[in-house]
């Protein structure tokens, strides 16, 4: 498991927690910038704690919307939450991440109470993305990349082409010393939808301003995949949709809006590689 995005500043109570970013929180967009996965993970943790404090174990998260409206930097951060509405079958919570007294990102989480599935037949997509084989090893890399026609690869060998993409993300804890939850995992990985939607032959030339995650259920295990489903782009504005899946099947969908940023395009080969990552191998084939 990769080191956590943050550690908590010592000597603070739960109401005034301060997140201190670690190297895993660094962005490929520029030195000193914080990646959206870290921002989303911190806000998801704050939202989840708020719902827990309400004593609502009957609820599950089904929609997560993140707005990245100012650059988050590698500096101490704090989160705050507001319960917008709590009802018998739902809870809506807003969260804000601030740095130096200024809000840089916000999120909204909708929790619903599960019920019995109706008996009527309803249409469902036949497209079902497949995870990498369980006996694949990626060493210390935090994710694998997939491109149609090329298969799964490490970041260093990621195919930067015009084909449809997938990623398979391994766990990155949000806070050092805390167990990562399934919701925190899903919320943080959702920001990587920009990669599957907008990674092309010249690298990642679009920076996302938002992400919306919808979950029919929480993922099982702390590995999660994203697969590009659809994309539209005009005049440097891109919108795209992807599927979120684990080793059991599809758990939900993700959408992302992005704007062209070609002058600072990111070459993802090597980003997220980790230190001393081993080659991607299939252990049964190797033996």
> Residue 137: what pLDDT?
65
Q: Which two tokens stand for residue 89?
A: 């079958």
> Residue 269: what pLDDT?
67
Q: Round to whole Å and give the CA distance between 287 and 284.
A: 5
242 neighbors 229 (Cβ within 8 angstroms): yes
> Residue 160: what pLDDT?
82
Per-residue pLDDT of the chain (287 residues; tens, 9 = 90+): 579 999 999 978 777 899 999 999 999 888 799 999 999 999 999 999 999 999 999 999 999 999 999 999 999 999 999 999 999 999 999 999 999 999 999 999 999 999 998 989 988 888 889 999 887 766 668 899 999 888 898 887 877 888 999 999 999 999 999 999 999 999 999 999 999 999 998 889 999 999 999 999 999 999 999 999 999 999 999 999 999 999 999 999 999 999 998 888 787 765 554 433 333 333 333 32
CB-based contacts of 123, cutoff 8 Å, min separation 6: none
CB-based contacts of 244, cutoff 8 Å, min separation 6: 186, 189, 190, 213, 215, 219, 224, 225, 226, 250, 251, 252, 253, 254
Q: What are the pLDDT digits (tens) for 125-173?
A: 888 899 998 877 666 688 999 998 888 988 878 778 889 999 999 999 9
CB-based contacts of 190, cutoff 8 Å, min separation 6: 40, 64, 66, 211, 212, 213, 226, 244, 254
> Residue 272: what pLDDT?
53
Q: What is the DSSP string of 46-106?
A: HHHHHHHHTT-TT-EEEEEEEEE-S--BSS-BEEEEEEEEE-SSEEEEEEEEEETTEEEEE
> Residue 11: what pLDDT?
78
Q: Which two tokens stand for residue 33?
A: 């910038």
Question: Residue 51, Cα to own-chain centre: how many angstroms?
Answer: 20
**pTM of the entire predicted model:** 0.90
Q: How many angstroms separate the Cα of 98 from the Cα of each of 44, 66, 74, 185? A: 14, 14, 12, 21
């Amino acid at each position: 498991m990769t080191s956590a995005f943050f550690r908590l500043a010592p000597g603070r109570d739960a109401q005034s927690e301060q997140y201190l970013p670690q190297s895993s929180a660094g962005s490929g967009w520029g030195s000193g910038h914080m990646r959206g996965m870290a921002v989303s993970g911190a806000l998801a943790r704050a939202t989840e704690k708020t719902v827990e404090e309400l004593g609502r174990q009957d609820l599950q998260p089904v929609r997560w919307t993140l707005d990245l409206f100012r650059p988050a930097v590698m500096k101490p951060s704090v989160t705050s939450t507001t319960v917008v509405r709590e009802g018998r079958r739902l809870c809506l919570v807003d969260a804000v991440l601030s740095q130096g007294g200024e809000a840089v990102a916000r999120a909204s989480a909708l929790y619903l109470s599960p019920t019995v599935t109706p008996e009527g037949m309803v249409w469902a997509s036949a497209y079902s993305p497949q995870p990498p084989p369980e006996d694949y090893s990626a060493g210390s890399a935090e994710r694998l990349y997939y491109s149609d026609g090329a298969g799964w690869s490490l970041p260093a060998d990621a195919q930067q082409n015009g084909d449809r993409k997938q990623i398979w993300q391994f766990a990155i804890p949000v806070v050092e010393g805390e167990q990562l939850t399934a919701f925190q995992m899903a919320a943080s990985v959702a920001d990587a939808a920009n990669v599957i939607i907008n990674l092309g032959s010249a690298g990642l030339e679009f920076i996302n301003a938002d992400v919306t995650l919808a979950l029919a259920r929480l993922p099982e295990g702390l590995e999660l995949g994203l697969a590009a489903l659809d994309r539209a782009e005009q005049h440097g504005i891109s919108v795209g949709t992807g599927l979120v899946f684990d080793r059991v099947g599809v758990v939900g969908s993700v959408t992302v809006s992005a704007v062209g940023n070609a002058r600072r395009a990111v070459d993802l080969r090597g980003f997220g590689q980790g230190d001393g990552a081993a080659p991607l191998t299939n252990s049964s084939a190797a033996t």
